[in-house]
Homo-oligomer: A and B are copies of this chain.
Amino acid sequence: MGMLDGIRVLDFTMNAAGPAAGALMSDYGADVIKIERPVVGDECRNFPPIVDGNSLCQCWFNRGKASVTVDLTDPEGTEFIKRLIPDTNIIIESYRPGVMKRFGLDYETVCSIRPDIIYVSVSAFGQKGPYSTRPGYDLIAQAMSGVMSITGEAGGPPMKSGLTLGDLFGGMNAFASAMTALYHWKATGVGQHVDISLVHGLIWMNGSVERCNVGQCAKRQGNHHPTLSPYGLFNGKNGQSIIIAAVNKKIWESLCDVMGRPELKHDPKFEVLNNRNENQQELIGYIEAWLGQYDDINVPLKLLEQAGVPSCKVYDNNDVFSDPHYRGNNWLVKAPVMPGITSMDTFVARGPNAGFSREPGTFRRAAALGEHNYEVMERYGFPKEEIDRLQAKWAKK
């Protein structure tokens, strides 16, 4: 059943960061119940691509979770939740700070029912401090972590990542922190409140901030390295690009030979690393002129590989999607779709985040909205008529 067999999770999250954390717990066998807003559910149910009226995106973010619709603004809704808490090991929530308290489901209240709960709050700016109630979007996390300021061309504007970086790193961070707390709970019986911030997560990855200690404010510098040349992205024909990483003299000299430019090895402009850094633009020009001779960039790439020059193609998503190494390692798996998607039985999706020799993760299908209302509410003593009454009441708002 997986490493988290027997662990019960209540997932009050939405959009991307929180759901990703709960989905990871599900991969490893936790019993995750997602509490969703009646009628509309998690916003990510509307994220593209949409197939047969259902989101493939939600098929990933809410994989392996049961779905129960509950109106948390109704005391009858929170009373139901409170019946689940004694059986729950981990709560994840991603409301704006203060909202769970308004529902009567804040950490302190939940603790009075189950003192050893692990309660993970995911927000943009954290639970405390002057910015804590500010609206948070992935883009704001990218901007306020300094990450955009160090990404992009030197002469151009700051650049966002094409990833929803704040959300996905935040989800992994929430998962990592929950697992650390879970180990500690297993060892000591003690739970706690875990405060995860998307902005904080990206700052944690931004090591260049520490250069401010010596008076340096790192700036964006495009696709090349300030103190290593040639090392970066080089453009060929028809929008094709490759990476070349000539990390030492021997590799640099092999590159000169592959390009048919052995004279560059002894050119005083390029012979020593410092020279190559000083004349980086000229050197980039030579390399791109060489690449520009080939219609298919795989041809020079092959030559580089044969010469032992670290290099690779810059993959687009189709390259990623079809790569046999990635499929063979289960980085991309054939995964089940959610109910309601009828034009495909499976889709190719990102599989578990890591390989485990004994207890590999499993991608289980996402649920339709409210699919588990009866199963879960009956398990906690609600008769069918009562479930019908509550769901009808909650659906009206």
Contact = CB atoms under 8 A, between A and B. Distances in A.
Nearest to A111: B357
Contacts of A180: 3-4, 28, 179
A40 interface: no
Nearest to A119: B357
A221 B162 CA distance: 8
A313 interface: yes
19 contacts: A57-B207, A129-B329, A139-B233, A157-B235, A160-B223, A163-B206, A163-B207, A168-B207, A169-B172, A169-B205, A177-B354, A192-B357, A193-B356, A193-B357, A203-B326, A204-B353, A206-B320, A207-B350, A213-B348
A211 interface: yes
Interface in A134-166: 135, 137, 139-140, 143-153, 156-165
Interface in A336-383: 344, 347-350, 353-359
A210 B57 contact: yes
A179 B183 contact: yes
Contacts of A140: 243, 245, 310, 312
A269 interface: no
Interface string A175-195: 111011111101100111111
A158 B241 contact: yes
A60 interface: yes
A49 B214 CA distance: 8
Contact of A3 (B48, B184, B223): B184
Nearest to A137: B245
Nearest to A27: B180
Interface residues of A, number: 130
A262 interface: no
A344 B196 CA distance: 31
B60 A207 contact: yes
Contacts of A137: 245, 247, 310
Contacts of A191: 358
Interface string A282-317: 000000000000000000000000000010111111
A238 B316 CA distance: 34
Contacts of A164: 207
Q: Give the one of A162, A318, A328 with max B CB within 10 A.
A: A162
- List of 7 A-B pairs having minimum Cβ-Cβ separation, nearest first: A150-B162, A195-B355, A176-B176, A3-B184, A179-B179, A212-B321, A193-B357
A385 interface: no
B358 A243 contact: no
Interface in A223-237: 223, 231-233, 235
A22 interface: no
Nearest to A235: B157
A285 B151 CA distance: 23
A316 B129 contact: no
Interface stretch (A67-75, A77-85, A91-99, A120-128): A120-128
A18 interface: no
Contacts of A213: 49, 51, 56, 344, 347-348
